[in-house]
A and B are shown apart, each in its own frame.
Chain A
Amino acid sequence: SQTIHQWPATLVQPVGSPLSLECTVEGTSNPNLYWYRQAAGRGLQLLFYSVGIGQISSEVPQNLSASRPQDRQFILSSKKLLLSDSGFYLCAWNLAGHGANVLTFGAGSRLTVL
């Protein structure tokens, strides 16, 4: 069966420090991978998605970047965190081109920037 792992689960970082959140999917090949952010107020905002190794699409201009160094690994990074980067970051995956393109989420990484 397929599983998705995110870490760390919780992170407190000072303003100006770097960030690396990691997401790994097991039990499948060539998944689509996504990073969403959920700020206070509930909505989920799509930040990045990737349909293959090295292929990254950015949805909004921001202080963050994403990379996909391996087929089932998706990394969210920042060189210098801002206060506004605080939030709940969710990684998700699905399989493109399948009839039931169900999106499956990881448990999330809660980031607080102080």
Chain B
Amino acid sequence: GIQVEQSPPDLILQEGANSTLRCNFSDSVNNLQWFHQNPWGQLINLFYIPSGTKQNGRLSATTVATERYSLLYISSSQTTDSGVYFCAVEQGGSEKLVFGKGTKLTVNP
């Protein structure tokens, strides 16, 4: 099956810093999503981005489907950005998302 690799596995930032999280995948996909899991376990969808670039406030994401990677940018980080960020992909017709192992982000005040 498709492999999803996220890097770095852990990231510690000071409040106000910027960061880039990466997601590599091993085969072509028709669906890619980024999620944030807060410290209480709730998973929230950040972006649906099978290709191209999207922005939502301080967060933006870019997927280069032909090169099989996606990037999540966090600017001016805040302590509330802490948690685990997951990338998940779906291959055509499979009806299921495969998750990477996540990047654990800690933002210190």
How many residues on chain B are close to A (CB under 8 Å)? Answer: 22
Mostly helix, strand, loop or mixed at chain A's interface?
A: strand
Decide: A107 near B104, CB < 8 A? Known: A44-B86, A101-B31, A101-B90. no
Cβ of B96 within 8 Å of any chain A Cβ, yes or no, is: yes
B33 in complex: contacting residue of A42, A88, A90, A103, CB < 8 Å: A103
**Count of residues in A whose CB is under 8 Å from the partner chain:** 26
- Bound-state Cα–Cα, A17 to B90, Å: 35
- What is the bound-complex CA distance between A107 and B38, given in angstroms? 11
Query: Are A43 and B45 within 8 A (Cβ)?
Result: no
A36–B88 CA distance with the chains assembled, in angstroms: 13
CA distance A59 to B42 in the complex (A): 23
Q: Is A7 an interface residue (CB 8 A)?
A: no
The answer on a CB contact under 8 Å between A46 and B101 is: no
Question: A21-37: which residues lie under 8 A (CB-CB) from chain B?
Answer: 32, 34, 36
Which of chain B's residues have a CB closer than 8 A to the CB of A46? Answer: 96-99
A41 and B31 alpha carbons, distance in the complex (Å): 25
Q: Which of B59-109 contact A (CB under 8 A)?
A: 84, 86, 88, 90, 95-102, 104
Residues of A within 8 Å of B84, CB to CB, are 42
Of B33, B44, B96, B100, most A-chain CB atoms within 10 Å: B96
29 A/B residue pairs, CB under 8 Å, sorted by A:
A32-B95, A34-B96, A34-B97, A36-B99, A38-B41, A42-B84, A42-B101, A42-B102, A43-B99, A43-B102, A44-B88, A44-B99, A45-B99, A46-B96, A46-B97, A46-B99, A49-B95, A51-B95, A90-B41, A96-B95, A102-B33, A102-B45, A103-B33, A103-B35, A103-B45, A103-B97, A107-B42, A108-B41, A108-B42
A residues with a Cβ closer than 8 A to B are 32, 34, 36, 38, 41-46, 49, 51, 59, 88, 90, 92, 96, 100-105, 107-108, 110
